[in-house]
């Protein structure tokens, strides 16, 4: 880091919105890592520093000099003329900015402490039978012999159903949850968000807020053991500061609890079916499943990058980072860094070194990571037991085109012979537990 700081950033030539990149970003990530530890790209919101190596991404995500508070320029930046749209989007910015995801200490720690109780191992372990039942019901509803779209039938609705259960809201409203999440994901995932994307995201976020606002009076009268009730109790005790902060947490929990998980399920199944040797190994050695899910997260992360604002002017690898600059931490690139992983482009369900940055790192590490792992283990365990000869139907994968939330728009699969009789899954019942999901001894 001893080189003279550059006064002006050199522009990169990477095309992160190119169709080829969106189909397979990993060759580009390799080239970016090899080109240097930090680069400037004007593809992100008019300009951002980009780090790609595992050590640097990990360092940025735990360093308080890089702030998670970044929504102002993001939301208001879509109105490049500085006109009336800034006023139009104030409702969006007010809610968006108060979500825990975009807060720094001490506010972030204060809200996270409220929610931690709902994600403790004992609380999650109690959900296991209900999650397994949901998985079974989803698989019972499809005809694997003729084929089905895994994303539409399973990967999209299942996480919405699970997070609805955890929050204590009606799972019958999941079609609305998914539509709202799609609009928010399209905005968050755009390298250069348009005013139209911002308007649609605002509409969905405000509708999510109104949905919870209508629910709160009943939940105040009849509190339960769910996340919405916990947030209400925290508001009453002063840990949550007002209705805007309360509604922001409700809306973003619903979104985050669905979006990442569905793409892990889709990306993970796609990777396993593209590597039949790994699929067969899991059938032979079901005890590998907890580690295999973590390897699937590393191999094709459902979250490809996250952003931070530079809070304190600094030098990094000879570059001068100014206060307020945007820095993009490329998680997908870090997860394939050969300095961290042996043969990083190879899927290995028995990989010993399976930790990754897919759930983030540091203070903002994903609060629902264990829940996501539980859902994935339950589903993959049932699929392996029930349809061992599951195959991809489409030769060319149908990716969603979102550079942040990498996932499949469609995943057609089919069982090539008669499915096994429904019933208890030895793999799911013996290996699905919160300790395994947390990477601890069971």
CB–CB of 79/89 below 8 Å?
yes
- Higher pLDDT: 14 or 37? It is 37
- Residues sharing a CB contact under 8 Å with residue 192, sequence separation 6 or more, in sequence order: 43, 44, 45, 46
Structure tokens at 275: 């590597």
Give kind and range of the element (H or E) at residue 31: helix 26-35
- Give pLDDT, residue 172: 83
Please tell me whether residues 127 and 262 are part of one structural domain.
yes
Asked if residue 247 is part of any domain, the answer here is yes
Asked if residue 400 is part of any domain, the answer here is yes
Please tell me whether residues 203 and 275 are part of one structural domain.
yes
Please tell me whether residues 299 and 364 are part of one structural domain.
yes
Count of beta carbons in the 10 Å neighbourhood of residue 287:
12
Virtual CA dihedral for 278, 280, 282, 283, nearest 10 degrees? Answer: 170
Q: How far apart are CA 292 and CA 251, in angstroms?
A: 31
- Give pLDDT, residue 431: 43
The per-residue pLDDT for range 134-147, each reduced to its tens digit, is: 999 999 999 999 99
Please tell me whether residues 351 and 367 are part of one structural domain.
no
pLDDT category at 81 given cuts 50, 70, 90 is low
With CA atoms as reference, report the closest residue to 283 among 420, 377, 384, 376.
384
**pLDDT of residue 436 exceeding 50:** no
State the average pLDDT over residues 406-434: 65
> What pTM does this model have?
0.91
Please tell me whether residues 26 and 174 are part of one structural domain.
no
Asked if residue 442 is part of any domain, the answer here is no
| Cis? peptide before 106, omega within 30° of 0 | yes
pLDDT category at 7 given cuts 50, 70, 90 is very low
Please tell me whether residues 425 and 313 are part of one structural domain.
no
Please tell me whether residues 53 and 73 are part of one structural domain.
no
- Give pLDDT, residue 19: 86
Residue length, the chain? 442
Q: How far apart are CA 105 and CA 262, in angstroms?
A: 29
State the average pLDDT over residues 150-159: 97
Asked if residue 394 is part of any domain, the answer here is yes
**pLDDT of residue 15 exceeding 90:** no
- 146: domain CATH number is 1.10.630.10
- Residues sharing a CB contact under 8 Å with residue 126, sequence separation 6 or more, in sequence order: none
The per-residue pLDDT for range 307-320, each reduced to its tens digit, is: 999 999 999 999 99
Question: Of 355, 381, 398, which closes a domain?
Answer: 355
CA-to-CA separations, 353 to 209, 245, 341, 350, in angstroms, rounded: 41, 39, 7, 9
With CA atoms as reference, report the closest residue to 69 among 107, 98, 103, 112.
103
pLDDT category at 18 given cuts 50, 70, 90 is confident
Q: How far apart are CA 170 and CA 235, in angstroms?
A: 22
- Give pLDDT, residue 159: 95
- 315: domain CATH number is 3.30.43.20
CB–CB of 434/124 below 8 Å?
yes
Asked if residue 293 is part of any domain, the answer here is yes
Asked if residue 431 is part of any domain, the answer here is yes
Please tell me whether residues 236 and 96 are part of one structural domain.
yes
Q: What percent of the chain has pLDDT above 70?
A: 90
- Give pLDDT, residue 432: 47
Q: In what order do the strands lie in the sheet with 390-392?
A: 148-149, 412-415, 390-392
Question: Of 355, 372, 389, which closes a domain?
Answer: 355
Count of beta carbons in the 10 Å neighbourhood of residue 271:
17
Q: How many degrees, rounded to 5, is the angle at CA 290 between CA 284 and CA 294?
A: 115
- Give pLDDT, residue 82: 59
Asked which of 72-81, 83-92, 171-180 is least confident by mean pLDDT, the reply is 72-81
- Residues sharing a CB contact under 8 Å with residue 136, sequence separation 6 or more, in sequence order: 382, 422
Please tell me whether residues 407 and 327 are part of one structural domain.
no
Q: How far apart are CA 116 and CA 396, in angstroms?
A: 41
**pLDDT of residue 33 exceeding 70:** yes
Give kind and range of the element (H or E) at residue 41: strand 38-41
Give kind and range of the element (H or E) at residue 308: strand 306-310
- Mean residue pLDDT across the chain: 89
Count of beta carbons in the 10 Å neighbourhood of residue 151:
24
Please tell me whether residues 83 and 58 are part of one structural domain.
no
- Give pLDDT, residue 86: 76
- Residues sharing a CB contact under 8 Å with residue 239, sequence separation 6 or more, in sequence order: 110, 111, 113, 114
**pLDDT of residue 222 exceeding 50:** yes
- Give pLDDT, residue 13: 60
State the average pLDDT over residues 327-356: 95
pLDDT category at 44 given cuts 50, 70, 90 is confident
**pLDDT of residue 218 exceeding 60:** yes
- Domain coverage including residue 309: 1-67+304-355
With CA atoms as reference, report the closest residue to 382 among 126, 136, 151.
136
Structural domain count, the chain:
2
Q: How many degrees, rounded to 5, is the angle at CA 250 between CA 183 and CA 185?
A: 20
pLDDT category at 417 given cuts 50, 70, 90 is confident
Give kind and range of the element (H or E) at residue 370: helix 369-386
The per-residue pLDDT for range 240-287, each reduced to its tens digit, is: 999 999 999 999 999 988 889 999 999 999 999 999 999 999 999 999
Q: How far apart are CA 233 and CA 359, in angstroms?
A: 28
CA-to-CA separations, 394 to 39, 44, 265, 380, 414, in angstroms, rounded: 37, 32, 17, 20, 10
**pLDDT of residue 167 exceeding 50:** yes
Asked if residue 183 is part of any domain, the answer here is yes
Please tell me whether residues 180 and 297 are part of one structural domain.
yes
- Higher pLDDT: 99 or 10? It is 99
Please tell me whether residues 36 and 120 are part of one structural domain.
no
pLDDT category at 43 given cuts 50, 70, 90 is confident
CA-to-CA separations, 228 to 179, 225, 248, 366, 441, in angstroms, rounded: 21, 9, 11, 18, 31
pLDDT category at 80 given cuts 50, 70, 90 is low
Question: What SS3 state is found at 149?
Answer: strand
Q: How far apart are CA 403 and CA 43, in angstroms?
A: 12
- Give pLDDT, residue 166: 93
State the average pLDDT over residues 375-382: 97
């Amino acid at each position: 880091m001893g080189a003279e700081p550059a006064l002006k950033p050199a522009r990169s030539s990477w095309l992160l919105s190119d169709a080829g990149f969106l189909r397979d970003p990993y060759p580009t990530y390799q080239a970016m890592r090899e080109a240097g530890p930090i680069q400037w790209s004007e593809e992100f919101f008019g300009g951002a520093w980009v780090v790609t190596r595992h050590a640097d991404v990990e360092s940025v995500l735990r360093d308080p000099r890089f702030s998670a508070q970044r929504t102002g320029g993001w939301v208001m930046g879509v109105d490049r003329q500085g006109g009336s749209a800034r006023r139009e989007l104030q409702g969006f910015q007010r809610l968006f900015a108060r979500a825990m995801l975009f807060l720094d200490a001490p506010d972030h720690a204060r809200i996270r402490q409220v929610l931690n109780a709902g994600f403790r191992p004992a609380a999650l372990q109690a959900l296991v039978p209900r999650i397994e039942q949901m998985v079974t019901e989803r698989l019972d509803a499809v005809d694997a012999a003729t084929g089905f779209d895994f994303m539409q039938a399973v990967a999209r609705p299942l996480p919405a159903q699970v997070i609805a259960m955890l929050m204590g809201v009606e799972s019958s409203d999941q079609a609305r949850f998914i539509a709202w999440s799609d609009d928010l994901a399209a905005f968050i995932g755009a390298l250069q968000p348009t005013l139209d994307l911002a308007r649609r995201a605002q509409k969905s976020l405000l509708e999510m807020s109104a949905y919870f606002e209508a629910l709160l009076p009943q939940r105040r009268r009849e509190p339960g053991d769910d996340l919405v009730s916990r947030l209400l109790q925290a508001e009453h005790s002063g840990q949550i500061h007002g209705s805007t902060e309360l509604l922001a947490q409700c809306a973003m929990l619903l979104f985050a609890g669905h979006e990442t998980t569905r793409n892990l399920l889709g990306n993970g199944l796609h990777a396993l079916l593209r590597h039949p040797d790994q699929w067969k190994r899991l059938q032979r050695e079901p005890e590998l499943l907890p580690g295999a899910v973590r390897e699937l997260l590393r191999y094709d992360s459902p979250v490809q990058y996250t952003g931070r604002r530079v809070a304190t002017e600094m030098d990094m690898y000879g570059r001068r980072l100014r206060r307020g600059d945007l820095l993009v931490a490329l998680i997908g690139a870090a997860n394939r860094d050969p300095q961290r992983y042996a043969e990083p482009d190879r899927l290995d369900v028995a990989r010993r070194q399976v930790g990754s940055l897919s759930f983030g790192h540091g203070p903002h590490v994903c609060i629902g990571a264990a829940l996501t792992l539980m859902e994935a283990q339950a589903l993959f365990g049932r699929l392996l037991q029930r349809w061992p000869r599951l195959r991809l139907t489409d030769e060319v994968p149908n990716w969603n085109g979102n550079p942040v939330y990498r996932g499949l728009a469609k995943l057609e699969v089919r069982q090539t012979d008669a499915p096994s009789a429904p019933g208890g899954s030895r793999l799911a019942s013996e290996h699905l537990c919160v300790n395994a999901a947390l990477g601890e001894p069971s």
